[in-house]
């Protein structure tokens, strides 16, 4: 029994040490902003957070990915201050938020083009939106049907919690038709990350995938897209997105609970500034103004 | 002094008793939690829809059959690899290899068991799946087969380690007796040692299968996650989506208490029931064999 007492004393000593240590770092006043969601936005959000923390050292920003659905779910569950989303919030998500007393407020923070990518060995260079829709819904199963070699088509997509997945479904598979019920072919591979899609497209000449333009490496082939058969085929770029000629470009969003106040408001105001929007351009996204 | 001893004895007995019961308590708590979160599914999704062929939760298609067959297919494939290789390795280590080889190999095999599954998954994406695609001329290498091969690799150390312990525990007198009546080395292994160690070997297989069906990260990375119904072993060469990968990929996204959330817990229940069935079936077999063995000996 006697041997235990020094152990207890040591334990108390250690606990008091560590708590006094924490007290030291807390001396400086700090605001903490939790930021989570879209994997499309995560690099941009990280670049912003780094710059912002350099300029305003009393603000701490924590940025994590996981997908737009994940970010919005976290906002609904009250665990983050800002949710990043590459799609607009859905009505059932607004209902769920209302049940928990949370009012999501939307902020458009940048624009993004979705690039359709194939392996460089694939001779196909251009497709119409209708052809891409038919490829993903399973109408076409061989590249020879869209002017390529006699190879099976392997469709790659992000998981269903990705905002890019939902945007692609609505804008490309359903061609923007609201009450369409076209779905991804069941044998579409659902990969958990952008990186997974890029690795597979890089090594597999049968594959077709899609990803935010800012994420596409130079060794993959980007497909030129025509909105309708007979229109010009357009490659994605800042210019074609801003002029509205590239057909699959979208707004990127941040959501807050109610109108932002305090540190969160200052951060969102800074994001709209020229300095922050210049970072948007550097990362391959399209600035909003 | 006497008093003090009794008191200590009491505490120690209680502690050991509590540890014994705690496993039961935790398992039942987990099961009740799964029931609580998973059973509302039955009220929210009609049974016909639940056992439908399409899984696309964001449009309220909750057919879980493709996920169940996906998990079963990958696990069966992993079993076909891990059981023969695992038991073969265990026999070699316990019966054939010289002592120093065994002392070198067994820790190495166990080290293999400690490899993080995400590392294996990464190797799977970068090396295994491209190789499979090219050598087998498949449309893509992200298939159930890649998952089975890697899961087999993950399960082998478990099978080897436990089966080898079981074989090692067979008394030397059994082997001596078999050899004395003129059995060859192979006959001794196949007819005497292995049957004597049967229950341990079966436990090894069971734990290996359990390890495979519950594995998540690797399968999520290499099986392609396409929710297509698997109908036979030929589907090993096409992509599948497993129950574990579905839960892992989608649980972060769902809002609490939504239908999708309940269905994911329902899948968890199905997974739990499957591994429980495997366990109960295996222990029933072990139990029956023990009884027969006791009869023979008495």
pLDDT, tens digit, 9 for 90 and up, residues A197-226: 999 999 999 999 999 888 889 899 999 999
Q: What is the pLDDT of residue B182?
A: 92
pLDDT digits (tens, 9 = 90+) for B156-174: 999 999 999 999 999 999 9
Q: What is the pLDDT of residue A89?
A: 92
Residues of B in contact with A76 (CB under 8 A): 255
Phi, psi dihedrals of residue B203, rounded to the nearest 5°: -60, -40
* Selected residue of A144, A189, A209 to mutate for chain B interface (largest B Cβ count, 10 A): A189
Q: What is the pLDDT of residue B2?
A: 59
Q: How far apart are CA B158 and CA B87, in angstroms?
A: 10
Please tell me the least confidently modeled range out of A185-189, B3-7, B267-271, B277-281. B3-7
Nearest to A160 among B58, B226, B258 (CB): B58
Q: What is the pLDDT of residue B7?
A: 87
ipTM of this complex: 0.82
Residues of B in contact with A200 (CB under 8 A): 125, 140, 142
Question: What residue of A is the nearest CA neighbor of B132?
Answer: A204
Report residue B295's pLDDT band, with 50, 70 and 90 as the boundaries. low
Q: What mean pLDDT is predicted for residues A184-193?
A: 90
Residue with the bigger pLDDT between A15 and B222: it is: B222
Q: Which of residues 60-89 of B touch A (CB under 8 A)?
A: 61, 66
Check pLDDT > 80 for residue A286.
yes
**CATH, domain range A112-249:** 3.40.190.10
Q: How far apart are CA B62 and CA B42, in angstroms?
A: 11
Check residue B295 and report its DSSP letter. Answer: H
Indicate if A112-249 has the same CATH topology as A31-111+251-282: yes
Residues of A in contact with B226 (CB under 8 A): 186-190
Residues of B in contact with A161 (CB under 8 A): 249-250, 252-253
Q: How far apart are CA A147 and CA B203, in angstroms?
A: 56
For chain A, give the percent of residues with pLDDT over 70: 90
Q: How many CB pairs under 8 A join A and B?
A: 90
Q: What mean pLDDT is predicted for residues A252-274?
A: 92
Report residue A126's pLDDT band, with 50, 70 and 90 as the boundaries. very high
| Cβ contact A186–B66 (<8 Å) | yes
**If DSSP codes are grouped into helix, strand and coil, which group holds residue A107?**
strand
- CA-based torsion, A187, A188, A192, A197: positive or negative: positive
- Domain-located, residue B290: yes
Give the total number of structural domains in chain B.
1
Check pLDDT > 80 for residue B54.
yes
Question: What residue of A is the nearest CA neighbor of B138?
Answer: A152
**If DSSP codes are grouped into helix, strand and coil, which group holds residue A231?**
coil
Range of the domain at B121: 39-297
Q: What mean pLDDT is predicted for residues A239-262?
A: 90
- Domain-located, residue B71: yes
Question: What residue of B is the nearest CA neighbor of A165?
Answer: B58
**If DSSP codes are grouped into helix, strand and coil, which group holds residue A189?**
strand
Check residue A122 and report its DSSP letter. Answer: -
- Domain-located, residue B89: yes
Is A145 in the B-facing interface, judged by CB distances under 8 Å?
no
Shortest CA gap A154–chain B (Å): 7
Shortest CA gap A191–chain B (Å): 6
**CATH, domain range A31-111+251-282:** 3.40.190.10
Q: Residues A130-166, buried b or exposed e (16+ Cβ, 10 A)? A: ebbbbbbbbebbebeebebeebebbbbbbbbbbbbbb
Bin A125: left if φ > 0, else alpha if -120 < ψ < 50, else beta: alpha
pLDDT digits (tens, 9 = 90+) for A170-183: 999 999 888 888 99
- CA-based torsion, A51, A52, A58, A61: positive or negative: negative
Shortest CA gap B51–chain A (Å): 16
With beta carbons less than 8 A apart as the criterion, state whether A85 and A166 touch.
no
- What are the residue boundaries of the structural domains of chain A, listed by start? 31-111+251-282, 112-249
Phi, psi dihedrals of residue A9, rounded to the nearest 5°: -60, -45
| Cβ contact B250–A161 (<8 Å) | yes
Q: What is the pLDDT of residue B129?
A: 92
- Domain-located, residue B1: no
Which distant-in-sequence residues (6+ apart) come within 8 Å of A276 by Cβ?
A: A48, A51, A52, A270
Q: What is the pLDDT of residue A26?
A: 45
Q: Whole-angstrom distance between the N-terminal and C-terminal Cα of chain A?
A: 73
Is A93 in the B-facing interface, judged by CB distances under 8 Å?
yes
- Domain-located, residue B6: no
Alpha-helix runs per DSSP H in B114-242: 117-123, 129-136, 144-168, 172-180, 185-187, 194-196, 198-214, 217-222
Q: What is the pLDDT of residue A279?
A: 92
Question: What residue of A is the nearest CA neighbor of B133?
Answer: A204
Q: How far apart are CA B240 and CA B75, in angstroms?
A: 12
Check pLDDT > 80 for residue B291.
no
- Domain-located, residue B29: no
B221 CA to centre of own chain: 18
| Cβ contact B255–A77 (<8 Å) | yes
Q: What mean pLDDT is predicted for residues B96-125?
A: 89
For residue A158, give both structure tokens.
Answer: 């992000």
**If DSSP codes are grouped into helix, strand and coil, which group holds residue A27?**
coil
Residue with the bigger pLDDT between B2 and B162: it is: B162
Q: How far apart are CA A80 and CA B270, in angstroms?
A: 32
pLDDT digits (tens, 9 = 90+) for B227-248: 999 888 888 999 999 999 999 9
pLDDT digits (tens, 9 = 90+) for A76-125: 988 999 999 988 898 888 998 998 899 999 999 999 899 999 999 999 99
pLDDT digits (tens, 9 = 90+) for A48-83: 999 999 999 999 999 998 888 889 999 998 899 999
Check pLDDT > 90 for residue A195.
no
Strand partners for A111: A251, A286
Shortest CA gap B23–chain A (Å): 29
Q: What is the pLDDT of residue A190?
A: 93
Q: What's the CATH code of the domain at B207?
A: 1.10.3720.10
Instruction: Give the C-alpha distances (Å, rounded to integers) separating B106 from A211, B13, B293.
Output: 46, 36, 30
Residues of B in contact with A66 (CB under 8 A): 252-253
- Domain-located, residue B233: yes
Is B130 in the A-facing interface, judged by CB distances under 8 Å?
yes
Check pLDDT > 70 for residue A25.
no
């Amino acid at each position: 029994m006697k041997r235990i007492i020094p152990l207890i004393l040591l334990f108390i000593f250690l606990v008091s040490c560590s708590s006094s240590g924490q007290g030291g770092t807390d001396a400086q006043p700090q605001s903490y902003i939790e930021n989570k969601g879209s994997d499309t936005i995560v690099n941009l959000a990280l670049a912003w957070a780094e710059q912002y923390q350099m300029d305003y050292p009393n603000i701490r920003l924590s940025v994590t990915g996981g997908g737009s659905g994940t970010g919005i779910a976290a906002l609904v569950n009250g665990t983050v201050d800002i949710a990043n989303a590459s799609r607009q919030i859905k009505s059932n998500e607004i209902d769920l938020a209302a049940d928990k007393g949370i009012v999501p407020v939307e902020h458009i923070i940048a624009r993004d083009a979705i690039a359709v990518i194939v392996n460089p060995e694939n001779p196909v260079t251009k497709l119409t939106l209708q052809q891409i829709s038919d490829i993903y819904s399973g109408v076409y199963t061989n590249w020879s049907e869209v002017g390529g070699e006699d190879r099976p088509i392997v469709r790659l997509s992000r998981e269903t919690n990705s905002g890019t997945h939902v945007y692609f479904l609505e804008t490309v598979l359903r061609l923007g038709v609201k009450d369409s019920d076209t779905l991804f072919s069941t044998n579409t591979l659902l990969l958990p990350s952008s990186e997974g899609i890029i690795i597979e497209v890089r090594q597999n000449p049968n594959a077709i995938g899609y990803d935010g333009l800012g994420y596409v490496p130079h060794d993959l082939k980007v497909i030129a897209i025509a909105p309708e058969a007979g229109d010009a085929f357009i490659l994605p770029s800042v210019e074609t997105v801003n002029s509205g000629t590239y057909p699959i470009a979208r707004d990127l969003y941040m959501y807050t609970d109610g109108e932002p106040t305090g540190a969160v408001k200052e951060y969102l105001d800074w994001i709209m500034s020229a300095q922050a929007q210049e970072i948007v351009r550097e990362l391959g996204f399209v600035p909003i103004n | 002094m006497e008093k003090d001893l009794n008191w200590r004895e009491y505490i120690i007995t209680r502690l050991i008793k509590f540890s014994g019961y705690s496993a039961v308590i935790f398992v039942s708590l987990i099961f009740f939690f799964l029931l609580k979160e998973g059973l509302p599914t039955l009220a929210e999704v009609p049974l016909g829809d639940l056992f439908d062929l399409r899984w696309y939760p964001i449009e309220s298609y909750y057919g879980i059959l493709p996920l169940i067959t996906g998990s079963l297919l990958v696990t069966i494939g992993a079993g076909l690899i891990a059981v023969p290789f695992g038991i073969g390795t265990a026999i070699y280590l316990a019966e054939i290899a010289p002592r120093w080889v065994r002392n070198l190999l067994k820790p190495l095999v166990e080290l293999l068991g400690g490899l993080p599954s995400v590392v294996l998954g990464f190797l799977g994406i970068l090396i295994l799946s491209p190789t499979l695609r090219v050598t087998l001329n498949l449309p893509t290498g992200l298939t159930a087969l890649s998952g089975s091969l890697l899961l087999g690799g993950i399960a082998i150390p478990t099978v080897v380690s436990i089966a080898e312990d079981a074989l090692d525990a067979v008394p030397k007198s059994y082997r001596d007796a078999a050899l004395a009546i003129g059995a060859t080395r192979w006959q001794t292994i196949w007819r005497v040692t292995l049957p004597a160690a049967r229950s341990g070997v079966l436990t090894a297989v069971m734990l290996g299968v359990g390890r495979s069906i519950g594995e998540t990260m690797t399968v999520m990375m290499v099986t392609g996650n396409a929710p297509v119904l698997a109908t036979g072993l030929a589907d090993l060469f096409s992509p599948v989506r497993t129950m574990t990968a579905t839960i892992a990929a989608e649980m972060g996204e769902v809002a609490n208490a939504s239908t999708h959330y309940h269905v994911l817990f329902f899948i968890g229940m199905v997974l739990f029931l499957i591994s429980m069935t495997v366990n109960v079936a295996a222990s029933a077999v072990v139990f029956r064999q023990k009884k027969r063995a006791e009869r023979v000996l008495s």
